[in-house]
Each structure stands twice: as C-alpha cells, then as structure tokens.
Structure 1
Amino acid sequence: MSANQRSAELLLLDKHAVEAALLPDDVLAAVREAFVLHSQREGRVFPVVREKLATGGVFGIKAGDVGSQNLLGFKAAGFWPGNRQLGGDTHQATIVLIDPATGRPLCIVDGNAITTARTGAAGGIGLQQLARPDSTRVCVFGTGVQARIQLEFALLLMPTLQTVRYVSSSGQRHAAFEAAFQDRCDIQLATDRDDAVANSDVVITATPGGGPLFDAQAVRPGTHLTCVGADTTGKRELPAGVLERARIVVDDSEQARRIGECQWAPDLPCIEIGDLLTGKATITREPADITVFDMTGLALQDLTVARFLDQRARADGTGTRLAWPW
C-alpha cells in the first residue's frame, strides 16, 4: 500500500454544512454551468434509474460526468411519503463525488438542500429565458419545500412579479407559506384554481405529480408554466392539450420524454434549456405564446453544485474528514 493510499480521506458534508454554504448566486452559476456543459456535450448524463419500492417509496439514481473537469458522481434519491409521519422530509437525497481516475469516493454530501436549491435555480433560469418580461402575476400549485424555493427564485429573478395566488393540497390557507413571502408580494390562497391560472402570467406546478391540476382551457395565451412534479413514469401535473398549444423547453429531451410531462406527448418538438443559453437554439417569444419548461432534473446540476461545496469546504476546513485507506 502506497503512502497516498494510506493517507486517503473522505469528506462528509452534512445538512448543516450544505445549507450554510448554499448561496443563491453560487447555485445559479453552478446550474447555468450544468446546462451549458450539457448543451456543449462536455458533460454526460447517464440513464436515470427510477423505481417504485415495496415500502411505498420511489428510489432513483442520477449520474453523470464531465471528463475535461475530472468530475464524476451520482445522486441517490427518491420520495418516501411515510416520512411525514416520522417528522422527516419526504424527499431524501445523497450525492457522492468520485475520483474518475481511481473510482474512489472523494466526498459524500447531504443532497436534500442541494436538490431543492438547484431545482429552484433551474426554474428561475427558465423564467428568465421564457416568461414575458412584463409578467406580474404568478400562480403556485403546492406549499411544500419545492413550491417555496421555486417562488423564492421567481421573486428574486423577476422583480416584476407582485401578485401570488397559491393552491394548497387541503384547499385551506397555509399561514407559514404566506408568512414566508408576505413582505415581498401580495400573496393569497386561490379559491378557484382555474380562475387563478387564467389570471396569471406565470404558473408554477410543484406537487407530487398525482394528476392534472387544472383544466386545459384555463391556460391563456401568453402564459409561462414551470413544471416540477413530473419526474417519474406515470406522473403528471398538466392536463391533456396544454403541451400541444405550447412551445416546450426541457432540461434533457430524452429524459423529459421518458419521465417528465413530455411523456404524455413524446412526439412534440422541444428545445433544451442549455441550447438557449449557449445560442445553439433561439426562441423569439411572441406575447401570445404559451411556454412550458418541463424540468426533470439533471445529474450535472447536482454535481456542479456539490463540486463547489466540496472545493469550498476543503479550502476553509469545514465538514468532517474520515480516514478512508484503500
């Protein structure tokens, strides 16, 4: 065994270390880089594993690499609804960075906060690219972690948004959700979901994807829709007929057609968001266009965010280091 093998160590970044280091500007930069790498085919996205479990949960693996940057890793994640009764998050995720030269693990990162933040950042980038610049009204489906982060980035990146109507799963007011945003916008519970959609410039769907959330005819010309919840075969949030009327943008076309909203209309044309960022593709948005950003989540997003957290922790000495000889 060489000296390097004996002295090898593994860096652990727990929830607290991750949350303290996840600054919005850094996350936005990392997610944008991931989309650009994907567009330039410098970063690879491996086939997604997504399987239902006998326990009632859903388990998945998203993996990828960037050869030119010696970046390799995966996220093991999924959805466990029974965690609500245990007082824990229903979504669980762990990210592992691996040395591509040796296959040795370098860093294990709590992935919950990363998944939340990078998905919110992706939604915000989509808004900047696709929503009408004069948008002022947003309708949000959901009041959970992902609904909150989507609205956080929406208000951060589109200051014109002033009016928020939200739809809760119970149909009742969610005081904590309102309190989180009441200083930045006019936020109220939507009493009629179709009416809320019809009177919004931006619609964000951030639910478990159990079925259509509103009637197709409620979507008016000029609306932008950010779709988060469809990430598994059989899931959907949009009603039939919306995609056929829309200009569709995705994070990954193959993945979206397999597990995203696009699985319900796989033959429709779509553009990858990275191609818009690199200029490989363009969209000239007419005021009456309906746009959809179908987000299924890229492994590259997780890896670029985890990488900057790993680099920062090694530079400032945070995190936990374990001897990991081989």
Structure 2
Amino acid sequence: MPRESRLLMLNAEAVAAVLQPNDVLEAVRRAFVLHSEAQGRVFPVIREKLSTGGVFGIKAGDVQAEGLLGFKAAGFWPSNRQLGGEPHQATVMLVDPATGRPVCIIDGNAITTARTGAAGAIGLQQLARADSRRLCVFGTGVQARVQVDFALRVLPQLDSLSYVSVDRQRDDGFERHVAGRLPVACAADADSAVARSDVVITATPGGGPLFAAAALKPGTHVNCVGADTRGKRELPDGVLERVRLVVDDRVQSRQIGESQWAPDTPCIEIGDLLTGKARLERTPDDVTVFDLTGLALQDLTVARLIHEKARDGGLGIEIPWPW
C-alpha cells in the first residue's frame, strides 16, 4: 500500500528569509567538528566537465547519529551569464536515512555562498594574526563579496581593503558593496597589493596563479577559495612548500584543491584545530594558508538549519510525495 509522505520545496526566496550569518557560522563550525570527530562522513566527490562547457558535481555525506543524510548537486555554467543568470548553480536534497525518501529540496545557491563565506571566516579566526588590518581580495563576484562580509564580521579591526579585479579596472558594484565599512581601492598590481596585506583572500574561478610567490611577506594569511576542481589553482609554485597549511579535508585538497599541485605538503584539518586534536602555534612570521574545497557536511548542516526554520515558519511549498 502507498505510504503518505510530503516533500518540502524551498526556493531562493524562502532560503533568504531564514539564512542568518551567525547561524551559518555555527552550522559550519558544527560541520567541521563532526568531521574531526569522525561522526560525519564525507563521500567521494563527483566533479566532471561537461560538453556544454559547464562543470557538474555532487557532494554527499551523512551524520548517522543525527539522522542527517543528503547531497548537493552543483556546478558552474559560464554561459548562464549570456542568459542573464548566475553561473553557479546548486540544489540540495535532504533524505530520510531510514527510508531513502526525500524530505526537502532546497535552492542551494545561497547555501553554497554563505557556507563558503562562513568557512573562510572560521579560517581567519583560527589563523590570521590578531593585529591584521590590511585585507586584499582577488575577485569581485558574489563569493568575493561574501568573503569580505564574513571577514569584517570576525576581524572588525580591518581598516583597509584592496581588491584585484580580472581586468585590473574598478568594479563599481563591488565598491558599493563595501562602501562605508572601510576604505577600498582597486589594485593595479597584484604583487604589490599582496605584499602590503596582512590577509589575502582569493575568490576567483581558479584559472591559474594570481600573484608571484615572492609577494607573500612573513606573517601573511591566505584563504584560498577558488580551487575546487582538478586543474584549478590560485597559488603560484613555491608557496605551499613554505607555508603552514590548513585544509577543510585532506583528501579533497589533494584531489581538487591547492594541494593537488604539491600533494606531499604537510597539512592540518581545520576541524582538528576546532576540537583540539591538533594545535598550530602561529609565530608572527609564519605564512599560513587555508585551502577551502567545500565539505558536503557544510551544505548538510546549513540545509538542516534552513529546513527546520522554514518548517517552523511555514515557508516553502509542500507537496504530496506518496510511495
């Protein structure tokens, strides 16, 4: 006999109504802790190029003790810009681990953006020098902007921002986004901008090295966001060999992150820093790097948060899903 069940569908508007930065920070922190404690599993990542010019991927995982199971299907379709749409596309599905039936389908674009920004913020909290004041950002798109938002949330002492756009020209939209929060300037020379900075965030499509290795001065911290596929990179040769490297997941970093270019580089997982399994005593001259490849657990803990808030608030569209 068919069993009665219902499926909740949450579009971008519903997600935006319940997504709050502090909640996302806590959910992402929880994901890293679960990963460190081996309570949350991260399944092998699917990430493949398509004949259409896009890249399609699936990140899945579970937390058996908490009844959390699901995946995010996502990727990058650059031709969407010609249609007036967002190139990054993502959909998250939460699944009942007892039956395999879908529980909730969520527009994942805002989840991906916010959880990556929150992950970057946690990296800054753990690794950036406490006296960091000068921020340099590569990129001016959605992810670059959210990285700045979260950086200012956790490093309120930052007092200047330089940014490097793809064409080295001013981006009025980016400047309006940060206007009134700190002085901002477009950098004509990437190496000079890096050399003057305490914190560097690279949030680009990962098409190649963004600056010279010699530009990184002692004491700098770098958050690398863009390398999430085989062949992508943002750091130049010679950097990983002289830094203290922290990653969200050791295997993923070597497969699709910056570590694919120097796989023997010793590293620490960020979750192990949060749980105390590992320690990193930063000296003033250490150069530190946090490589963010994105964990399925981040998507799932944030999606669970959204699902619970939307359900309690009566948001979304619920449809019969009998079986």
In the alignment, is residue 173 of structure 1 matched against residue 170 of structure 2?
yes
In the alignment, is residue 310 of structure 1 matched against residue 303 of structure 2?
no
Partner of 2:80: 83
| Correspondence list, 1:107-146, <5 A | 107-146=104-143
**CA RMSD of the aligned region, Å?**
0.6
Cα separation, 1, equivalents of 2:31 and 2:237: 31
Between the two proteins, the alignment pairs up a number of residues equal to 323
Q: Deviations over 1:243-263 (max 9, x none)?
A: 111000000000000000010
Structure 2 residue aligned with 1:105, among 102, 105, 113? 102
Cα separation, 2, equivalents of 1:265 and 1:90: 29
Partner of 1:226: 223
| Correspondence list, 1:110-259, <5 A | 110-259=107-256
**Structure 2: runs of 5+ lacking an equivalent:** none
In the alignment, is residue 268 of structure 1 matched against residue 265 of structure 2?
yes
Structure 1 residue aligned with 2:280, among 276, 279, 283? 283
Return the TM-score normalized by structure 1: 0.98
Query: Residue type of the partner of 1:22?
Result: L
Q: Deviations over 1:258-314 (max 9, x none)?
A: 000010000011000000000000100000000000000000000000001111111
Q: Deviations over 1:87-143 (max 9, x none)?
A: 111100000000000000000000000000000000000000000000000110000
SS in structure 2 at match of 1:311: helix
Cα separation, 1, equivalents of 2:281 and 2:289: 14
Partner of 2:45: 48
Structure 1 residue 191, shift from structure 2 partner:
1.4
Query: Residue type of the partner of 1:144?
Result: G
Return the TM-score normalized by structure 2: 0.99
Structure 1 residue 57, shift from structure 2 partner:
0.2
Structure 1 residue 224, shift from structure 2 partner:
0.2
**Structure 1: runs of 5+ lacking an equivalent:** none
Cα separation, 1, equivalents of 2:17 and 2:285: 41
Q: Deviations over 1:229-248 (max 9, x none)?
A: 00000000000011111000
Cα separation, 1, equivalents of 2:18 and 2:166: 32
Cα separation, 1, equivalents of 2:55 and 2:285: 38
SS in structure 1 at match of 2:78: coil
